[in-house]
Structure 1
Amino acid sequence: MLKVLFTVLRIMVGAIGLVLIIDCVLLIAAGKINFGTLVPLGLGVVLVIHSVYWRSIYSYVTKPRWLKYGWYSLWGLLLIWLISFTLFIQSLQQKIKLSAQPLPPVAAIIVLGSGTVAGKPTATLAKRLDTAVTIIDAQPSAMIMTSGGIGYGRQRSEADIMASYLHTEHSVPFERILQEGTSTSTQENLSNSKIILAAQGVDLAEPIAIVTSDFHIIRAAAIARHQGYEQPVTVASPTPLSIRYNAWFREYFAFISGWLLGEY
């Protein structure tokens, strides 16, 4: 029975590792070389190696007692990490469902940036803007703000590109759109936006919609509250399927990083 259990575990470990490798290699081939692709790629390689050479590795590490305990400890840490990651994903999915409920009247709509390519929004950013249009159309009195600075080697701010997209693709008048074009992170997005909101007479005590990707809503809401937004209403836009699960993986570490850095 124990032998069968180890065989099943070995197959599962190998399958998970293979999926991670394929996913990350495809993303890296598309130019997405970052923490969220390199870490799971390394983890995938380790899992596949353990699956293929399970007996040899087990035989080697179980001879010295200290190495045996260390090996078991590493697998224990991996199990703890998997449990915490699962809980994070469950919480994220609950928040995504809540964000799909009808939106209350808001004083402002802030759309957070997510990258541009050749002067156009990425697929992820386009989804955010498309999602924001639903609120813009439903609440014509709400102030609209696009938020995103000038990337390395770029000439136009992300906020400007976002405003152009809203105008050309959805006929949103330019005069309705305010631009926050200096930020380089979510923290700066919301911090810099506060200055513009105050200049327009919008109080942070009022409900303010923050449109971002579904994987990002927990962290965005936490940062907003930390910065004094009393009623942030996060609106989740769908993440393209090709990068969805990798984005969830990266966001788990980003959330921990944000907490360690005191962003919330």
Structure 2
Amino acid sequence: MVAGWVLVIDCTFLIAADKINFGTVVPFLIGLIFLIHAFCWSKIQSILSNHRSLRKLWKILWGAFGVWLLSFILFAYNLHNQISEVDENYEKVEAIIILGGGIQNGIPTPTLASRLDAAVPLIEQQPEAVVITSGGVGVGETRSEGEAMAQYLHALYGIPLDDIYQEKKSTSTEENFLFSQKILADKQVSLDDPIAIVTSDFHIPRSKAIAEHQGYTNLVTLASPTPLATRYNSWFREYFAYISGWILGEY
């Protein structure tokens, strides 16, 4: 019951804050199922005792859930270890690609703002690097993430807009890297040159794998921290992103 309340309350607050995604909806539903079982346990057992086929199906479903839960725990453990080992060797790079992470009403979300904030010291240290803000137009938005990100860097840190190259069409991590290649080529930056990618810590392993699959061979990773309030929901969403990326052959 405790796990059910924790999941439902946590995800209710996040959904109310307009964070509606796999990382909030699925855990909310799991928590709801836990609570239903806790409050209706006697009734459920009574129904199952009179229907052998339902009882068998109930056991199969919970067994499948147990296997899935174990796979998620192993994924989270592995992701935690990879986050701890992200590259922090910020030597000279030819380009800096900042990956989009969502905007609301044309303004970067806290997650995306954290990525941009993390990129600023590197941008200031290496003013000759090609800076790319990558992200298209999201559902319900009228401006691209690439534009909103560039405006954020200009307004808060004074980075000239002419020094920021906006990639405005991508709708996924795969497209972030794919569409950024044209800008890199135009600026005579090779995929073999040292290129920094800036994104959230939990997103580093998958984004790096996707980039390497596309031919980026000399990557430097710069991770922004994920707030504790959304950290594990982000990991949960990333779990499904890994599965879909594998199915789609993104890495």
Same fold per superposition (TM over 0.5): yes
1:16 lines up with 2:3 in the alignment: yes
User: What residue number does 1:259 align with?
Assistant: 246
1:114-129 equivalences under 5 Å are 114-129=101-116
Gaps of 5+ in 2: none
SS of match in other structure, 2:97: strand
Given candidates 7, 23, 30, the residue that maps to 1:43 is 30
Q: How far 1:111 moved relative to its partner?
A: 0.3
User: What residue number does 1:207 align with?
Assistant: 194
Do 2:79 and 2:202's aligned partners in 1 also have CA atoms closer than 8 Å?
Answer: yes
Q: How far 1:225 moved relative to its partner?
A: 1.4
| Distance in 2, Cα, partners of 1:143 & 1:94 | 31
Identity, % of aligned positions = 54
1:105 lines up with 2:92 in the alignment: yes
Given candidates 114, 119, 125, the residue that maps to 1:132 is 119
User: What residue number does 1:178 align with?
Assistant: 165
User: What residue number does 2:218 align with?
Assistant: 231
1:160 lines up with 2:166 in the alignment: no
Q: TM-score, normalised by structure 2?
A: 0.91
- 1:165 maps to amino acid: Y
| Distance in 2, Cα, partners of 1:87 & 1:68 | 29
How many residue pairs match? The answer is 251
Larger displacement relative to structure 2 (24-33 or 93-102): 93-102
User: What residue number does 1:7 align with?
Assistant: none
| Distance in 2, Cα, partners of 1:62 & 1:228 | 58
| Distance in 2, Cα, partners of 1:170 & 1:62 | 66
| Distance in 2, Cα, partners of 1:98 & 1:19 | 30
Distance 1:77-1:199 versus aligned 2 partners, 3 A rule? same
Indicate the RMSD between aligned Cα atoms, in angstroms. 1.9
Gaps of 5+ in 1: 1-13
1:246 lines up with 2:233 in the alignment: yes
Larger displacement relative to structure 2 (54-63 or 220-229): 54-63
SS of match in other structure, 2:85: helix
| Distance in 2, Cα, partners of 1:111 & 1:199 | 18
Q: How far 1:98 moved relative to its partner?
A: 1.6
Q: TM-score, normalised by structure 1?
A: 0.87
Do 2:184 and 2:190's aligned partners in 1 also have CA atoms closer than 8 Å?
Answer: yes
**1:96-139 deviations in Å (ceiling 9; x for gaps):** 22226333432211001112223321111100000111221233
Structure scoring higher RCO (CA < 8 A, sep ≥ 6) equals 2
1:91 lines up with 2:91 in the alignment: no
SS of match in other structure, 1:99: coil
User: What residue number does 2:208 align with?
Assistant: 221
User: What residue number does 1:73 align with?
Assistant: 60
Q: How far 1:57 moved relative to its partner?
A: 2.4
| Distance in 1, Cα, partners of 2:205 & 2:38 | 35
Distance 1:84-1:104 versus aligned 2 partners, 3 A rule? farther
Larger displacement relative to structure 2 (71-80 or 194-203): 71-80
